[in-house]
Structure 1
Amino acid sequence: MKSAVETLSPTRAKLTVEVPFEELKPSLDKAYQQIAQSINVPGFRKGKVPAAVIERQYPGAARDQALNDILNLKYAEAMQENDLTPLAQPEVEVTKYEDNGPLEFTAEVDIRPEITVPAYDDLTAEVDDLEVTDEDVAEQVQALRERFGTLKDVERAAADGDFVVLDLVARQDGETVEGAEVSGMSYQVGKGGMLDGLDEAITGLSAGDEATFTSQLVGGDLIGQEVEVTVKVTQVQEQELPEADDDFAQLASEFDTFAELEADVRERLGRGKRLEQAAAARDAVLEALLEKVEVPLPDTLVTDELNARRENIEQQLQFAGMTMEKYLEDEGQTVEEFEADLERRVRDAIVAQMLLDEIAKTQDFEVTNEDLTGYILRQAQSQGQDPQQAFSHIQEHPHHLQEYAAEIVRGKALAQIVETATVKDKSGNVVELKNLLPDGSIGDPAAQADDAEVTDEATGEAAATDAE
Structure 2
Amino acid sequence: MKSAVETLSPTRAKLRVEVPFEELKPSLDAAYQQIAKQINVPGFRRGKVPPLMIDRHVGRGAVLDQAINEVVPQKYVEALQENSLVPLAQPEIEVTRFEDNETLEFTAEVDVKPEIVVPDYAGLQASVEDATVTDADVEEQLQVLRERFATLKDVERPVEDGDFVVIDLKATKDGEGVEGAELTGMSYQVGRGGMLDGLDEALVGMSAGEEKTFTSQLVGGDLVGEEVEVTVAVTQVQEQELPEVDDDFAQLASEFDTVAELTEDVRERLGRGARLEQAAAARDAVLDALLERVEIPLPDALVTDELNARRSSVEQQLAYAGMTMEQYLEDEGQTVEEFEADLERRVRDAVTAQFLLDEVATTEKFGVDQAELSEHLVRRAQQSGEDPQQFANHMFEHNHIPELVQEILRGKALASIVESAVVTDASGEHVELANLRPDGTIGEPEAEAETDGGAEVPAEETTEE
TM-score calculated relative to the size of structure 1: 0.93
CA distance in 2, matches of 1:337, 1:448: 50
- 1:156 Cα deviation from its structure 2 partner: 1.5
In the alignment, which residue of structure 1 is the partner of 2:12?
12
For the 8 Å contact 1:152–1:237, the answer to whether it is kept is yes
In the alignment, which residue of structure 1 is the partner of 2:429?
429
In the alignment, which residue of structure 2 is the partner of 1:151?
152
Query: Aligned residues, how many?
Result: 451
- 1:332 Cα deviation from its structure 2 partner: 1.8
What residue identity is the alignment partner of 1:402?
P
CA distance in 2, matches of 1:67, 1:179: 59
How far does the alpha carbon of each residue in 1:132-152 deviate from its partner, in whole angstroms, 9 at most, with x for none? 011111111111111111222
CA distance in 1, matches of 2:365, 2:300: 32
CA distance in 2, matches of 1:243, 1:178: 45
CA distance in 2, matches of 1:304, 1:394: 22
Is residue 154 of structure 2 the alignment partner of residue 191 of structure 1?
A: no
CA distance in 2, matches of 1:418, 1:174: 62
CA distance in 1, matches of 2:170, 2:53: 75
Identical-pair percentage: 72
Is residue 375 of structure 2 the alignment partner of residue 374 of structure 1?
A: yes
For the 8 Å contact 1:380–1:390, the answer to whether it is kept is yes
What residue identity is the alignment partner of 1:31?
A
- 1:175 Cα deviation from its structure 2 partner: 2.3
CA distance in 2, matches of 1:213, 1:407: 50
CA distance in 2, matches of 1:221, 1:68: 49
- Say which SS state the counterpart of residue 179 (structure 1) adopts: strand
CA distance in 2, matches of 1:393, 1:201: 48
- 1:396 Cα deviation from its structure 2 partner: 2.8
CA distance in 1, matches of 2:355, 2:389: 32
In the alignment, which residue of structure 2 is the partner of 1:30?
30
**Deviating more after overlay: 405-414 vs 65-74:** 65-74
In the alignment, which residue of structure 1 is the partner of 2:243?
242
- 1:49 Cα deviation from its structure 2 partner: 1.1
CA distance in 1, matches of 2:220, 2:56: 63
- Say which SS state the counterpart of residue 255 (structure 2) adopts: coil
- Say which SS state the counterpart of residue 312 (structure 1) adopts: helix
How far does the alpha carbon of each residue in 1:364-394 deviate from its partner, in whole angstroms, 9 at most, with x for none? 2120112112212222222233333322323
How far does the alpha carbon of each residue in 1:82-127 deviate from its partner, in whole angstroms, 9 at most, with x for none? 1111111111111112222221111111111111111111310000
- 1:207 Cα deviation from its structure 2 partner: 1.3
How far does the alpha carbon of each residue in 1:245-288 deviate from its partner, in whole angstroms, 9 at most, with x for none? 11221121111111111111111111111011000000000000
CA distance in 2, matches of 1:27, 1:179: 62
Is residue 287 of structure 2 the alignment partner of residue 283 of structure 1?
A: no
Alignment of 1:64-79 (within 5 A): 64-79=65-80
CA distance in 1, matches of 2:53, 2:412: 59
In the alignment, which residue of structure 1 is the partner of 2:162?
161
CA distance in 2, matches of 1:435, 1:205: 56
**Deviating more after overlay: 3-12 vs 241-250:** 241-250
What residue identity is the alignment partner of 1:339?
E
Q: CA RMSD in A?
A: 1.6
In the alignment, which residue of structure 2 is the partner of 1:405?
405
In the alignment, which residue of structure 2 is the partner of 1:251?
252
In the alignment, which residue of structure 1 is the partner of 2:3?
3
CA distance in 1, matches of 2:364, 2:36: 51
**Deviating more after overlay: 151-160 vs 413-422:** 151-160
What residue identity is the alignment partner of 1:293?
V
CA distance in 2, matches of 1:179, 1:279: 43
For the 8 Å contact 1:435–1:448, the answer to whether it is kept is no
Alignment of 1:45-194 (within 5 A): 45-59=45-59, 60-194=61-195
For the 8 Å contact 1:92–1:107, the answer to whether it is kept is yes
- Say which SS state the counterpart of residue 7 (structure 1) adopts: strand
CA distance in 2, matches of 1:389, 1:234: 45
CA distance in 1, matches of 2:144, 2:391: 31
Q: 1:171 to 1:71 in 2, by over 3 A?
A: farther
What residue identity is the alignment partner of 1:210?
E
For the 8 Å contact 1:12–1:111, the answer to whether it is kept is yes
In the alignment, which residue of structure 2 is the partner of 1:455?
none
In the alignment, which residue of structure 2 is the partner of 1:463?
none
What residue identity is the alignment partner of 2:195?
M
CA distance in 2, matches of 1:321, 1:164: 25
For the 8 Å contact 1:15–1:106, the answer to whether it is kept is yes
- 1:34 Cα deviation from its structure 2 partner: 1.5
Is residue 215 of structure 2 the alignment partner of residue 205 of structure 1?
A: no
**Deviating more after overlay: 158-167 vs 53-62:** 53-62
What residue identity is the alignment partner of 1:47?
G
CA distance in 1, matches of 2:67, 2:149: 72
For the 8 Å contact 1:3–1:78, the answer to whether it is kept is yes
- 1:424 Cα deviation from its structure 2 partner: 0.2
- Say which SS state the counterpart of residue 333 (structure 1) adopts: coil
TM-score calculated relative to the size of structure 2: 0.94
- 1:405 Cα deviation from its structure 2 partner: 0.7
In the alignment, which residue of structure 1 is the partner of 2:414?
414
Q: 1:56 to 1:173 in 2, by over 3 A?
A: farther
- Say which SS state the counterpart of residue 69 (structure 1) adopts: helix
**Deviating more after overlay: 32-41 vs 20-29:** 32-41
Q: Which 5+ residue runs of structure 2 have no aligned equivalent? A: 453-465
CA distance in 1, matches of 2:202, 2:373: 51
What residue identity is the alignment partner of 2:88?
L
- 1:295 Cα deviation from its structure 2 partner: 1.1
CA distance in 1, matches of 2:97, 2:256: 81
What residue identity is the alignment partner of 1:66?
A
Q: Which 5+ residue runs of structure 1 have no aligned equivalent? A: 453-468
- Say which SS state the counterpart of residue 428 (structure 1) adopts: coil
In the alignment, which residue of structure 2 is the partner of 1:465?
none
In the alignment, which residue of structure 2 is the partner of 1:461?
none
CA distance in 2, matches of 1:303, 1:98: 39
How far does the alpha carbon of each residue in 1:142-195 deviate from its partner, in whole angstroms, 9 at most, with x for none? 111111112222222111111111111222222222222221111110011111
In the alignment, which residue of structure 2 is the partner of 1:218?
219
What residue identity is the alignment partner of 1:224?
G
How far does the alpha carbon of each residue in 1:294-313 deviate from its partner, in whole angstroms, 9 at most, with x for none? 11111111111000001011
What residue identity is the alignment partner of 2:33?
Q
Q: 1:139 to 1:276 in 2, by over 3 A?
A: same
- Say which SS state the counterpart of residue 450 (structure 1) adopts: helix
What residue identity is the alignment partner of 1:142?
Q
